[in-house]
Amino acid sequence: MKVMANLPEKLHQELGINKARANFITLFISSLICVRTVNLTEIALNFSPKVQTSSSYRRIQSFFLNFELCYSLLAKLIMSLLPEEPLVLSIDRTNWKFGKADINIFMLSVEYNGVAIPDWNVYYCCDDIIKSINYIFEL
């Protein structure tokens, strides 16, 4: 997959991410695609067979704990990787309970080769405990 081969360099150049983190993100994404789940243990199992799964799992946890990504730049990067042709957009809405709070999530995604890539999301909690709006879909 040509895009995955170029992804670490693109992440480094376009988003200013250091090369070690860019390589990790590429490994994480390719593992995510292979295992087809967001379960971190399953993703860690797909990392290097030379490394214990528990070590890979801690590496994933540490990454998400210590790394902050600019989602608007990420959206621009994703759009730059897609071919310049008409795109199919899909929307989805779901409702989760977090304690007594209702969390409504609206997701707008770009479809490419049968995969929906989230580009714009709005998180809204009905009882005003959590309100966060992230507009990362920029055309």
Indicate if the pLDDT at residue 35 is higher than 70: yes
Domain for residue 79, yes or no?
A: no
Q: Which residue has the tokens 């593992």?
A: 31
Alpha-carbon span 79 to 94, nearest angstrom:
25
Same structural domain for residues 8 and 56?
Answer: yes
DSSP symbol at 111:
E
**How are strands ordered across the β-sheet holding 131-134?**
88-98, 101-112, 115-125, 131-134
* The two structure tokens encoding residue 127: 């009882």
Q: How far is CA 14 from the centre of its chain?
A: 16
- Tally of structural domains, the chain: 2
Burial (0-12, 13-18, 19+ Cβ within 10 Å), 28: buried
Give kind and range of the element (H or E) at residue 3: helix 2-15
Residue 3: predicted pLDDT:
58
**φ/ψ (deg, to 5) at 16:** 70, 25
Residue span of the structural domain in which 130 resides: 88-134
Domain for residue 80, yes or no?
A: no
Same structural domain for residues 92 and 64?
Answer: no
Q: How does pLDDT run across 100-128, given as a tens digit for each residue?
A: 888 877 777 888 888 777 765 444 444 34
The larger pLDDT score, comparing residue 95 to residue 63, is at 63
Domain for residue 75, yes or no?
A: no
- Model pTM? 0.63
Type of residue at 43: I
Indicate if the pLDDT at residue 77 is higher than 60: yes
130: pLDDT confidence band, cut at 50, 70 and 90? very low
**φ/ψ (deg, to 5) at 96:** -120, 155
